[in-house]
Amino acid sequence: MSRNTAEMQQVFDEADCIYTEGQVSEAMDRLAGEITATIGDQDPLILCIMNGGLVVAGQLLPRLAFPLQLDYAQLSRYRGNTTGGELEWKVHPQTRLSGRTVLIVDDILDEGDTLAALTEACQTEGAERVWTLALVEKHHDRKSQPGFEADFIGLQTPDRYLFGYGMDYQGYWRNAPGIYAVRGL
Ligand SMILES: O=P(O)(O)OC[C@H]1O[C@H](OP(=O)(O)OP(=O)(O)O)[C@H](O)[C@@H]1O
Ligand code: HPA
């Protein structure tokens, strides 16, 4: 067994499960209902924020039974660290956003910089309406723009370092089948 595999298996084994797969699935069902009712008739463009939004978008899309388009963008602030730094654009969406209803899909709203910056960027590119979704919102008083909230939130979490459903710990465990908090963080 490689050293990384052994270390990361230990991280998983020692982690606290905050939400089980079943609880996340229920939250996804509820989110899908809210999204359908809110923008289902607006020809939306779903903008998946890589890498964290991948699992959320992948599980959400088959629950949305209306016409939509998909694109992705990538920007990174954490780059494998557990605290945020400078926001770095890596990939801009390829689809024209002008006049579109856009739904930004990400895994987590932590300090909020990422979703706030993306919202502004989509508005600058002419999106008619920008909606935001985060599977989880972390509870603390370090929000970078205290008034900023996501339109669709799946689950609330305590102020711990999380992994699973797209969220990584040192690049690992985005695949974890539940939402977990790293022991001691
Ligand atoms: O609310 P914030 O404090 O801005 O943090 C949330 C962002 O941090 C993570 O991305 P990261 O920069 O780690 O890149 P990743 O998606 O590749 O993990 C996560 O996927 C969100 O996009
Ligand atoms: O708690 C977190 N876990 C993983 N990625 C993150 N990006 C911001 N906060 C987190």
Where residue 107 falls among pLDDT bands split at 50, 70, 90? very high
- Say how far apart CA 105 and CA 47 lie, in whole Å: 6
Mutation to probe ligand 2, out of 81, 83, 107 (largest number of atoms < 8 A from CB): 107
pLDDT of residue 90: 84
Is residue 75 pLDDT above 90, yes or no?
no
Where residue 84 falls among pLDDT bands split at 50, 70, 90? low
pLDDT of residue 147: 86
Residues in the chain: 185
Is residue 8 pLDDT above 90, yes or no?
yes
Sign of CA dihedral 110, 104, 12, 3: negative
Mutation to probe ligand 1, out of 110, 114, 132, 140 (largest number of atoms < 8 A from CB): 114
- Say how far apart CA 26 and CA 32 lie, in whole Å: 10
For 132-150, the pLDDT digits (tens) are: 999 999 999 888 888 889 9
Pocket of ligand 2 from Cβ distances under 6 Å:
78, 108, 110, 161-163, 167-168
Q: What is the dihedral of CA 145, 148, 76, 123, to 10 degrees?
A: -110
pTM of the entire predicted model: 0.93
Distance 66 CA to ligand 2 centre (A): 31
Nearest CA to ligand 1 atom 17: 51
Distance 39 CA to ligand 2 centre (A): 28
19-181 classified as CATH 3.30.70.1150: no
37 burial level (CB within 10 Å; 0-12, 13-18, 19+): exposed
Distance 140 CA to ligand 2 centre (A): 13
Q: What percent of the chain has pLDDT over 70?
A: 92
- Say how far apart CA 116 and CA 72 lie, in whole Å: 16
pLDDT of residue 144: 86
pLDDT of residue 12: 97
Is residue 80 pLDDT above 60, yes or no?
no
- Say how far apart CA 146 and CA 12 lie, in whole Å: 32
pLDDT of residue 120: 86
Among all bound ligands, the one having the nearest atom to the CA of 180 is 2
111 lines ligand 1 (CB under 6 A): yes
pLDDT of residue 92: 87
114 lines ligand 1 (CB under 6 A): yes
Among all bound ligands, the one having the nearest atom to the CA of 149 is 1
Mean pLDDT of the chain: 93
Ligand 1 atom closest to the Cα of residue 107 is 20
The helix-helix angle for 21-39 and 53-60 (nearest 10°) equals 70
